[in-house]
Structure 1
């Protein structure tokens, strides 16, 4: 026998529970002034108890504001962008903004245009792009939008609001950590060629070695997966390198497995540094030295930048977050 689903709470239910008018509830929902603190608290408590979710469409009719954002993201499961996505959505929810998401597989102009046109039909007030790929920002920025846009990008771009982490500086710090341990032959397993983060990490590796008068002898290119790290680990000359800086942790775990299969040890024969500090990194064998990114701050900074543009506030470029070196057992001085 079918049962009726619970009725969704309305603004009138909230008003009744809080003992106020529905107009007062509307003022609280839209952060309007002239609501006493005690009254606002009662309304917010009623909203929580009833699990009331205001309708963006109804709110837009009253305020001429939709309080909605369009979010374009890639189809991959890379740890960095997916973590930033989670924190961006959490920050938007806390700020009482709704987010419509388009998960893109292809970044051609027609696909991007279709996604943005769908957002505009929903009356979004701004668009955010979370992607590690250069062509993503280029595709969206080239559309000359009339609403604000913010992009996750490691390198600032003229005329575009970007938020990101200092990938280049962290990569140099990763190599410096290995050099300080006494390594002079440091290889690199880079990420995909069209990844901005991978480009910056490779650039940092090259520049830090060159600053110490050392050659950049060995480099491979992977696709962020453990399989790519494993392939590289089976192929590279173990006698040529005593350390490898890997562009992300997933490839690092594959590399460590391959080195072990070849009868060598990490860090006894080869020291390995990763990037991102994924949750599993502390439990690798050995635990992985890596760089931890503050994805929560990046997601929050993206939202605050976008909302400032939407509200016509002065927007100053936020400083890049600085990844932190997490020293574990995968690095040591060379034998």
Structure 2
């Protein structure tokens, strides 16, 4: 039996000839990224000496998705729907998807992935990604912390500008803006779009955004009432419903009679809330498809745009009226 195992043309012969384990031989022939060039050549030389030709087995194509704030996933929200669309788009192109939370980013360096997708990482999370595998990396709706990365997302500046112009066209001038936080690619672009729209309408003093990561729903309501706001862009993924609930239940604010509201689309809630919410909807299915396509093109050495931004859609329902 032992002689059979060491016969010419076997993986056991290669391991003995190279003086390494069978696991190391397997890693070399499966293109394991952390095998040194010297070790790789040593094993390949032994394989030639033994006349060993590995059976060609098609390896699964895998995309690694680094996801931030997994603890805040809810049915129908931005991240949940985006993840679903990514899985569907990847499957159509023959890829599997491995999900890695930002709290375990080090796992990304141990995974054999063909490409990496970044979802909802903070700037601090992104800065910690200095040891990722050298594979195509696409950021969804985020800043490019590395010049080799690519961006796919929605035009957050235009989302806020168009939504604000929609309110301005209906006579509103005291318009508040609620964001998840104040720092980051998406929120900063939305704040800029809001400011530009307000200034284009001749609003002399543009209110500062209210940040849900710093203020409670009660404090946000205080801020809106301090502004004497007649309308609000409630652009927070994580706390939008909590803000609405506090306004309606605790402050007896009538929407839209007392306060017109435009929210971010949550397909599980927005069409069923009372009143039905006017929203901004990102084309998440198109974004997901473009992410997978971008990685596939990069793997095929094709040229792709460094940044691809899609236009979002304003869905008119019943939460906006004239002041």
TM range (shorter): 0.7 to 0.9
Is 1:167 the counterpart of 2:151? The answer is no
1:83-140 C-alpha deviation (Å, 9 max, x unpaired): 21111111112222222221223xxxxx53x222221xxx322222112522333333
Name the structure 2 match of 1:103. 101
Local SS of the residue matching 2:177: strand
1:125-158, Cα deviation, whole Å (9 max, x unpaired): 2222112522333333x33742221111255675
> For the aligned residues, what is the CA RMSD?
2.7
1:164-205 CA-partner distances (Å, limit 9, x unpaired): 111110111111011000001111111123443222222221
Q: Does 1:221 align with 2:221?
A: no
The answer to whether 1:73 aligns with 2:62 is no
Q: Which residues of structure 1 form unaligned runs of 5+?
A: 1-59, 106-110
Contact 1:292 1:323 in 2 (8 A): yes
5 Å-filtered alignment, 1:269-308, equals 269-308=258-297
Looking at structure 2, the residues matched to 238 and 265 of structure 1 have their Cα atoms a distance apart, in angstroms, of 17
C-alpha contact (below 8 Å) 2:102/2:125 kept by paired residues: no
Larger Rg: 2
Matches for 1:23-34 after TM superposition, within 5 Å: none
Q: Deviations over 1:216-255 (max 9, x none)?
A: 225321049xx94455225542662111111136644333
Aligned residues of 1:230 and 1:254 also touching (Cα < 8 A): no
Structure 2 unaligned residues grouped into runs of 5+: 1-53
Partner of 2:131 in structure 1?
A: 143
Contact 1:127 1:150 in 2 (8 A): yes
SS at match of 2:310: coil
Question: Residue 191 of structure 1 aligns with which residue?
Answer: 180
Query: TM-score, normalization: structure 2?
Result: 0.72
The aligned residue for residue 93 of structure 1 is 91
Report the Cα offset of residue 61 of structure 1: 6.0
Partner of 1:242: 230
